[in-house]
Structure 1
């Protein structure tokens, strides 16, 4: 099963939309750290529509709690950031990949950039923007991982 991990997500509409994509694709959503909203908020329900009850999601207070519970390996963790040097399409996503995204306003926790520097990937953007919307970024990378796994 593919996994999307949101570390300190801030905007409920993004998380709701990502949750909806997860339901559509059979992907598990992991919410890690401080949330900028309540899970039961109307914004989550609105953006996730009536699909939210079907979402397979897990909640972790800390990154360490996530690592302990899920036990991802270095080979199946992919950190997405504008600071990455390798394009996401150059990654080989296994069927149990964890696609990890940071907060909308500040990205991944600062220590992740050094700690996971060999696992940082980016969505190349030749245009004059700093970044794409989080839910758009998650969908782009998720569907590449699904494509690589032949939609299994």
Structure 2
């Protein structure tokens, strides 16, 4: 299945909802420190309901540690600044999707480390900032999973 990577997530309910999404799709969730909350935060636990036991969550000290844990994997940076629409990519099993922090997105140096065809975006109306993180993760994961026949 796929891997979802959250770079320094800040809002506990978003991460809780993404834990629930990963539990229901079989995706592995990677969280890159520092986190804007504790892993036992009440809001995180409430949003994830009782799905925490069904989700595979991996905690990383930093970006480099995370990418070293995914050798040979194709990683897509998801950002409003992405070059390619998310639905125009042909996804493969084992692909990974990197999302930035809610308030600031991905750092420019990380974005620039990806080729244009690995920088993807979700279309939105002009002059809008971004979608909710949990919603964006859901859109991308379900499109990739749909392409794989939901298997």
> How many residue pairs align between the two structures?
150
Q: For 1:15 and 1:97, how far apart are their aligned partners in 2?
A: 20
Q: For 2:129 and 2:4, how far apart are their aligned partners in 1?
A: 22
- Displacement, 1:54? 1.7
Q: For 2:82 and 2:64, how far apart are their aligned partners in 1?
A: 22
User: CA, structure 1 residues 72+105, in 2 after alignment: closer, same or farther (shift >3 Å)?
Assistant: farther
2:132 maps to what in 1?
133
Q: For 1:117 and 1:131, how far apart are their aligned partners in 2?
A: 22
2:93 maps to what in 1?
95
Alpha-carbon contact 1:72-1:98 (below 8 Å) kept: no
- Displacement, 1:126? 2.0
2:147 maps to what in 1?
148
Alpha-carbon contact 1:81-1:108 (below 8 Å) kept: yes
TM-score normalized with structure 2 length:
0.95
* Residue 27 (structure 1) aligned with residue 41 (structure 2): no
Q: For structure 2, which runs of at least 5 residues remain unmatched after alignment?
A: none
RMSD over aligned Cα atoms: 1.2
Name the SS of the counterpart of 1:103 in structure 2. Answer: coil
- State how 1:7-86 maps to structure 2 within 5 Å: 7-73=7-73, 76-86=74-84
Name the SS of the counterpart of 1:35 in structure 2. Answer: coil
Q: Point out the more displaced range, 120-129 or 9-18.
A: 120-129
- Displacement, 1:112? 1.4
Q: Point out the more displaced range, 80-89 or 125-134.
A: 125-134
1:110 maps to what in 2?
108
Q: For structure 1, which runs of at least 5 residues remain unmatched after alignment?
A: none
Q: For 2:70 and 2:75, how far apart are their aligned partners in 1?
A: 11
Name the SS of the counterpart of 1:71 in structure 2. Answer: coil
